């Protein structure tokens, strides 16, 4: 467990367990990002029809195999770092079939890999001791105040983004679940309001236009 400010946490043993759970959750979330980036493009290959589609799909699968994440049943034996540091990721290569169309050729290049590397490198900055501290208290309003303006590291020693704020939560899971549900409800209400305003504006525009 990381070194913690003396006396800063309500129940060190409980927080230690929560810290382990959050670390594992963060690793799992990162793994989902990696799998999605590597395997989602296969949907596009399967739906695309051209003379070289089959060969392009095979070339892409061979590229994925070079990352070491294939076969999927064995991917849990490798860490995210091992996969991201593999030759298949660092030097992504797919043999482009002569019959491949421009669309297939574009899907075989490394654009999605570059995007993945950037996303994973910025995914999180580890656990923040300050966020861990304030979220472990009975009164953790200060923790939630970081969320509303999106100032995830306000008042923290460590510079970090949302994922570090999220995974550094040391309170009861039910509290975070309630918070997320309320956020979704506020978002839906905001979208409905914006939609209604847009409808009103369109209606006023039509009235002025045909007046």
pLDDT value, residue 204: 59
Mean pLDDT of 93-102: 90
Q: What is the pLDDT of residues 146-169, one digit of tens each?
A: 877 778 888 899 899 999 999 998
pLDDT value, residue 21: 87
Domain match, 133 and 173 both: yes
Residue after which a domain boundary falls, among 102, 121, 140 = 121
pTM over 0.85? The answer is: no
Beta-strand runs (E) in 70-140:
none
Q: What whole-number distance in Å separates Cα of residue 80 and Cα of residue 96?
A: 27
pLDDT value, residue 4: 42
Answer yes or no: is pLDDT of 202 > 80: no
Q: What is the pLDDT of residues 121-151, one digit of tens each?
A: 989 888 899 988 888 876 567 788 887 777 8
On whether the CB atoms of residues 164 and 125 are closer than 8 A, the answer is: yes
Secondary structure letter of residue 76 according to DSSP: G
Mean pLDDT of 111-128: 92
Answer yes or no: is pLDDT of 109 > 60: yes
Band of residue 206 on the pLDDT scale cut at 50, 70, 90? low
pLDDT value, residue 117: 95
Mean pLDDT of 201-207: 60
pLDDT value, residue 7: 38
Looking at the structure of the chain, the number of domains it has is: 2
On whether the CB atoms of residues 31 and 78 are closer than 8 A, the answer is: no
pLDDT value, residue 201: 64
Residue after which a domain boundary falls, among 105, 121, 137 = 121
Residue after which a domain boundary falls, among 89, 121, 153 = 121
Domain match, 110 and 135 both: no
Domain match, 99 and 158 both: no
Mean pLDDT of 10-20: 62
Domain contains 3: no
Mean pLDDT of 111-117: 94
Domain contains 78: yes
Residue 106 CB neighbour total at 10 angstroms = 10
Domain match, 146 and 72 both: no
Query: How would you class 136 by CB atoms within 10 Å of its CB: exposed for 0-12, middle for 13-18, buried for 19 or more?
Result: buried
Domain contains 2: no
- Dihedral (Cα; 40, 120, 23, 63), 10-degree rounding: 50
Q: What whole-number distance in Å separates Cα of residue 60 and Cα of residue 109?
A: 9
Domain contains 205: yes
Domain match, 106 and 137 both: no
Domain match, 135 and 114 both: no
Residue 85 or 70, more confident:
85
Domain match, 199 and 131 both: yes
Domain match, 112 and 158 both: no
Domain match, 110 and 136 both: no
Q: What whole-number distance in Å separates Cα of residue 134 and Cα of residue 10?
A: 10
Domain match, 77 and 44 both: yes
The residue segments making up the domain with residue 174 are: 126-210
Domain contains 25: no
Domain contains 50: yes
In the chain, what percentage of residues exceed pLDDT 90?
31
Domain match, 95 and 162 both: no
Residue 33 or 147, more confident:
33
């Amino acid at each position: 467990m990381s070194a913690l400010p003396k006396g800063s946490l309500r129940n060190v043993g409980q927080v230690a367990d929560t810290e382990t759970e959050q670390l594992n959750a963060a690793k799992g979330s990162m793994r989902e990002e990696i799998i999605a980036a590597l395997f989602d493009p296969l949907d596009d290959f399967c739906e695309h029809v051209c003379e070289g589609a089959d060969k392009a799909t095979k070339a892409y699968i061979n590229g994925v195999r070079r990352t070491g994440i294939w076969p999927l049943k064995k991917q849990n034996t490798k860490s995210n770092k091992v996969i991201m540091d593999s030759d298949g990721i660092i030097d992504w290569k797919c043999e482009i079939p002569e019959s491949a169309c421009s669309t297939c050729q574009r899907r075989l290049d490394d654009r999605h890999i570059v995007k993945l590397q950037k996303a994973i490198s910025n995914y999180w900055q580890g656990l923040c001791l300050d966020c861990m501290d304030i979220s472990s208290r009975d009164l953790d309003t200060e923790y939630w105040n970081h969320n509303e303006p999106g100032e995830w590291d306000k008042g923290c020693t460590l510079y970090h983004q949302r994922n570090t704020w999220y995974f550094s939560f040391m309170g009861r899971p039910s509290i975070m679940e309630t918070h997320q549900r309320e956020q979704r409800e506020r978002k839906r209400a905001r979208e409905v309001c914006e939609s209604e305003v847009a409808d009103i504006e369109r209606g006023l525009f039509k009235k002025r236009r045909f007046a």
